Structure 1
Amino acid sequence: MNTQAMEKPAKVAKNGVDVPTLLATIGVVKDAPPAAQFQFRAKGEWVNGTHSRATVNGFFGAGEEQSRAQDFVIEGDHPAVVCGADKAPTPVEYLLSALAACLTAGVGNIASVRQIDLDSVETTVEGDIDMQGILGLDDNVRNGFNTIRATVKIKGDAPAEALERVVQQSIARSAVFDMLTNGTKVDVTAVAA
């Protein structure tokens, strides 16, 4: 009897993710861990009132400075009910959006590597905050969110259990989830101009 080992089919691009390149990148970083060291940057400036503008472009990664073809500009403000002009989302809404984007991107990557075709992914994130802290009315109330909840609705060509495992893996690998749940040291230096 002639028994041949069955070969696994090669992984292909899926859901808009270039899976072969993603896997090759993981292999390169595995073999050369310094390539994994990145530094991202944002530069913010005050516009007026509570309105600010941040610009994102250059970053360090894969062993050298990187730049994008264009600057990304992110506006921030507060709603009128908290003395803003409501020209843009609040900074805390950007935080919620960052978590939603990170979890959603992770789902896209992980499902694609697992060769699951996605029909839809919808991540909803809510955060509860007591404004007494920010407004300086009660020093016992924290300035940030008390609770953040996320719901990921995922539909694809795999059983529900497999799709749930994709979401759990996305949570386990999410940089934003990690920073929110484990904390990150933040140093701020004030420099008079």
Structure 2
Amino acid sequence: MTTATIEKPARVAMNGVDIPTFVATLGVVGQNPEIAHFTFRASGEWLSGTHSRTSFEGFFGAMGEQKHRQSYAIEGDHPQVLCGADNGVTPVEMLLAALSACLTAGIGNIAAMRQVKLHSVETSIEGDIDLNGILGLDKSVRNGFSGIRATFRIKGEASDEVLEAIVHQSVARSAVFDVLTNGVPVTVAAIAA
């Protein structure tokens, strides 16, 4: 009697994700967990009224200082109905964008690791907020969102159950979802310039 070995086909790059490099990175981090310790940074500046700009140039990760391939910035403001000039999205909209981007990135990575070809992923995220809290008019109302709803429309070469499982795995591994649902200590220091 002979024993035949069945080899699984190698995972290939898919959905824009370089799977061989991703798998190799998992192996390296598994052997040296300190490589996974990152510190991300944002630098903000007030421009006028409720308008500000936040820049992102570098971060610490993979045991050293890193630079983005270019400098990035986002503009934040309040809409005119909230006494702003509407020069950018509101900070709470940025939070919704961060959740959308994190979950969508996770979907792309997880689908690629499972060798599921995606055709499209569309996100709809809404957050409810009662401004009586942030305006100081009702101390019983919280300042932030009272609830957030995320809906994903995902199409790919897999069953609906497999695609839904990919979305749920993305939620389970999402850093932004974790911060929103579990909280994180935040310290604030004011330094006179």
Which TM-score applies when normalising by structure 2? 0.98
Q: 2:147: which partner in 1?
A: 147
Superposed CA RMSD in Å reads 0.7
Q: Indicate the percent of aligned positions where both proteins have the same amino acid.
A: 64
Counterpart AA for 2:128 = D
Letter of the 2:165 counterpart: R
Moved more, 42-51 or 2-11: 2-11
In the alignment, the residues of structure 1 paired with residue 102 and residue 182 of structure 2 have an alpha-carbon distance, to the nearest angstrom, of 16
Provide the residue aligned with 2:182 in structure 1: 182
Deviations 1:66-92 (Å, cap 9, x if unpaired)?
A: 012211011000000000000100000
- Aligned mates of 2:131, 2:43 — CA distance in 1: 26
Deviation string for 1:102-159 (max 9, x for gaps)? 0000000000000000010011110000000111101111100000000111110001
Superposition map of 1:25-174 within 5 A: 25-174=25-174
CA contact (8 A) 1:103 1:123 kept: no
TM-score (norm 1): 0.98
Q: Could you tell me how far apart the structure 2 residues matched to 1:179 and 1:88 are?
A: 24
Between the aligned partners of 2:60 and 2:155, the Cα distance in structure 1 is 35
Q: Which runs of 5+ in 2 are unaligned?
A: none
Q: Distance in 2 between matches of 1:171 and 1:185?
A: 21
Q: Deviations over 1:25-67 (max 9, x none)?
A: 1111111010010000000000000000011011000000001
State the alpha-carbon separation in 2 of the partners of residues 174 and 152 from structure 1: 15
- The whole-number CA distance in structure 2 between the counterparts of 1:188 and 1:25 is 34
Partners of 1:27 and 1:126 lie apart in 2 by 37
* Structure 1: unaligned runs, 5 residues or longer: none
Where in structure 1 do 4 or more consecutive aligned residues deviate above 4 Å? Answer: none
Whole-angstrom distance in 2 between the partners of 1:20 and 1:77: 41
The equivalent residue for 2:16 is 16
